[in-house]
Structure 1
């Protein structure tokens, strides 16, 4: 049954890419153009470091799938693309493997195809410590993702209905494993208050996983026969809103995922404080509809264009993107005003950095 659900998820996620409104709240983020800010392309490095983790690029392939023959083939191709482009990659939820070891190869193929790459194993917040270790061992994982998905579980016909133990279980897992733990939402966003709670229990990074990309409320509603939950389709905060809400919280880096459509969204995320940026839906669509070679080409192009935009902005590293001036408009501006976020400071950061340097 889990394997069938994973196949449904892939099919419905790809369907969401068709006929979908291309706009999201990243469009409310605009860079102030400084015509003399540009630097030499040779001075730009895409390397990023956060929470004790070192990546060659700030782009990573975020959690998608696994648990059936078809999704195993997708994981193989994702691993090959990660290997060829040097990006980190996460498996989808290992719940299927933890319930049935016969599907282990649909996940293990990622390590077989990408033996030296950075691979994240993905589990849910109800996983026992022993099973968390099993997931890590299966992949020889470099980091562990724990996903938060209360809205998905609520809409899912066979989903969980008890969430009160999640926080303490994250704390137990984080204390028990010897690799970094990254906690991520699946498309409904992490608030500042949630990220502060995660910092208290020693999580290495928080992936805000905001609204704007693959919508698992819609996916799970599409699997229901009765009790329509479409009123939850717009639940949560956008990725841009989450990044602004977190406001560079000390001692816990944030990652961005959810609604990443192109390299400009990657740079916007970095400018709003993300240490790295995960993409899934657009990459899955490319793989399923055009094949593995097209996926490698898309990731390679995105990385080249990312470096090009950083060159224009004068950002030598991903971290320096957070010194760029950004204007916030539209619905995103209303969110910031309600949450007390300093919009003037965001629009004048370059001057602040220049004054500090002098």
Structure 2
């Protein structure tokens, strides 16, 4: 059941990003509406630029030091096919120096025979930054096993109450999650990163995570792969379609969460390098991509993904040069204007959009 579900996730996620009849499956997502990233505008200052050779992509936050402000975020694992995907993602991460997170390791914790679908993340990326991934209901001993399997540099704990609610066989008990996260953070020796799975972390949630001993929050907002739609697509009658649009967009989550006590990562609906730069300007220290990179990998293979990531890094450098940002953190000082529904969100929630990033470095 678990392996089949993981393969379903890949198949339905790809259908969302291609919006066609992938593998004979009717797409579960209509054409996407305009993203709230499009409500973030850099004010052009013609003399603000710097020299390209002065731009450094290295980003530092919490106790972490990454060579680039871009990472491959959690995707998959647990079946032979997803093990092949993890191998290819690890090769691409190794070639481009991107940090990488594995998909949920619940299949391994239930069935150790699936370990080989996750270990390629380290085997093919021996010197890279690798994040293990568990759910909030995992006990500390299981979390240690997940970290040990990948010799992981950090642990992601994903929170996915919306997905679990729609998932036919999903969890229905969420009340123990805060205490569980706190126990894991106190028990393991690597930094803990808590992430949503596409519905956003609010500022209130990030403040709570800081109290629980978490090191970093990945806001992982609405706009990318929609796991409520994926799980609804696995239901015969799709009766949870009314949840379409649930959650906070990534830009809204960043604006609500900055200055709440934790360094922030941004993922969810990041379409191109400009969105990545926008997220960095709104308070993120690094930006994660999942579904878009997966679609490129499955369509063109490892070499195509390496070329795409290399292009992203080149464009990030170019955009930082244009904006006069020598380091990713400098983007927080750029002149940005908000419009549309994102500006309305900030007004409704009394979010001060004039202050620079206030979270810990």
TM-score range, shorter chain: over 0.9
Of the candidates 162, 178, 191, which is equivalent to residue 151 of structure 1? 162
- Name the SS for the 1:291 alignment partner: helix
Matching residue of 2:88: 77
Contact 2:185/2:214 (8 A) holds in 1: yes
Shift of 1:246: 1.3
Shift of 1:290: 1.1
Please, what is the CA RMSD of the aligned residues?
1.0
- Name the SS for the 1:145 alignment partner: strand
Alignment of 1:196-345 (within 5 A): 196-226=207-237, 228-250=239-261, 252-343=262-353, 345=354
CA-to-aligned-CA distance 1:332-356 (integer Å, 9 cap, x gap): 111000111223x26xx7xxxxxxx
Moved more, 280-289 or 225-234: 225-234
- Name the SS for the 2:103 alignment partner: strand
Contact 2:36/2:342 (8 A) holds in 1: yes
Matching residue of 1:123: 134
Query: Hey, what's the Cα distance between the residues in 2 that align with 1:88 and 1:75?
Result: 13
Q: Which runs of 5+ in 1 are unaligned?
A: 350-358
Does 2:152 match 1:141? yes
Matching residue of 2:43: 32
Shift of 1:260: 0.5
Query: Hey, what's the Cα distance between the residues in 2 that align with 1:13 and 1:213?
Result: 9
CA-to-aligned-CA distance 1:31-69 (integer Å, 9 cap, x gap): 011110000001100000111011000000000000000
Query: Hey, what's the Cα distance between the residues in 1 that align with 2:154 and 2:34?
Result: 32
Matching residue of 1:193: 204
Query: Hey, what's the Cα distance between the residues in 2 that align with 1:325 and 1:212?
Result: 24
Alignment of 1:32-51 (within 5 A): 32-51=43-62
Of the candidates 108, 130, 145, which is equivalent to residue 97 of structure 1? 108
- Name the SS for the 2:189 alignment partner: coil
Shift of 1:227: 6.0
Shift of 1:22: 6.3
Divergent runs of 4+, >6 A: none
Moved more, 210-219 or 17-26: 17-26
Does 2:80 match 1:58? no
Contact 2:18/2:295 (8 A) holds in 1: no
CA-to-aligned-CA distance 1:132-173 (integer Å, 9 cap, x gap): 011001000000000000000000000000000000000000
Matching residue of 1:2: 2
Query: Hey, what's the Cα distance between the residues in 1 that align with 2:299 and 2:15?
Result: 11
Query: Hey, what's the Cα distance between the residues in 2 that align with 1:285 and 1:30?
Result: 28
Does 2:27 match 1:17? no
Query: Hey, what's the Cα distance between the residues in 2 that align with 1:26 and 1:177?
Result: 35
TM-score (norm 1): 0.95
Moved more, 168-177 or 325-334: 325-334
Query: Hey, what's the Cα distance between the residues in 1 that align with 2:265 and 2:64?
Result: 12
Shift of 1:21: 2.1
Shift of 1:109: 1.1
Matching residue of 1:354: none
Alignment coverage as a number of residue pairs: 345
Query: Hey, what's the Cα distance between the residues in 2 that align with 1:196 and 1:188?
Result: 17
Contact 2:258/2:264 (8 A) holds in 1: no
Query: Hey, what's the Cα distance between the residues in 1 that align with 2:306 and 2:338?
Result: 33
